[in-house]
Amino acid sequence: MSPLRVFIVEDSPVIRQNLAGALEEMAPVRVVGFADSAADAQAALCGRPPPCDLAIVDVILREGTGLDVLRALREQASPVTRVVLTNYALPDVRTHCLALGADRVFDKSVDIDALVDYCNELASKTPDAGLG
């Protein structure tokens, strides 16, 4: 099984690095890129073929929001699996993210293990992950 290619959209360099390290250590994941703004994320993620299998998107970014990123991916009918990882995983935020095409929403403070489990699950269902 090839590693799941992951792109992280997060404005905090510390969180990006810690998240990448944790995912690569605990799941068959290879982090292939980062963005800290909605515009940079859209430029990286909205190409063909997509640069990753999974995009992990924060709601609050340096410029723009993760909602802008989700909206752009939905409008382009991108095949990239999208999850939101945020400190603002309130019911209304979750509902809005899911409506914009997020496959799952995780809370940074309590759901890291669930995110790792989700990455493991995706990798097991995508035996050719990372080959495209």
Q: Residue 82: which domain range?
A: 4-125
Q: How many domains does the chain have?
A: 1
Cα–Cα distance, 110 to 130 (Å, whole number):
28
Which residue type does 95 have? T
Q: The whole model's pTM is what? A: 0.93
User: What pLDDT is stored for residue 119 in this prediction?
Assistant: 97
- The answer to whether position 130 is within a domain reads no
Residues lower than pLDDT 70 in the chain: 1, 127-132
Q: Specify the CATH number for the domain of residue 22.
A: 3.40.50.2300
Put the strands of the sheet holding 29-35 in their side by side order: 29-35, 4-9, 54-57, 81-86, 104-107
- The answer to whether position 132 is within a domain reads no
pLDDT tens digit string along 8-39?
A: 999 999 999 999 999 999 999 999 999 999 99
**Cis ω before 79 (30° cut-off from 0):** no
- The answer to whether position 90 is within a domain reads yes
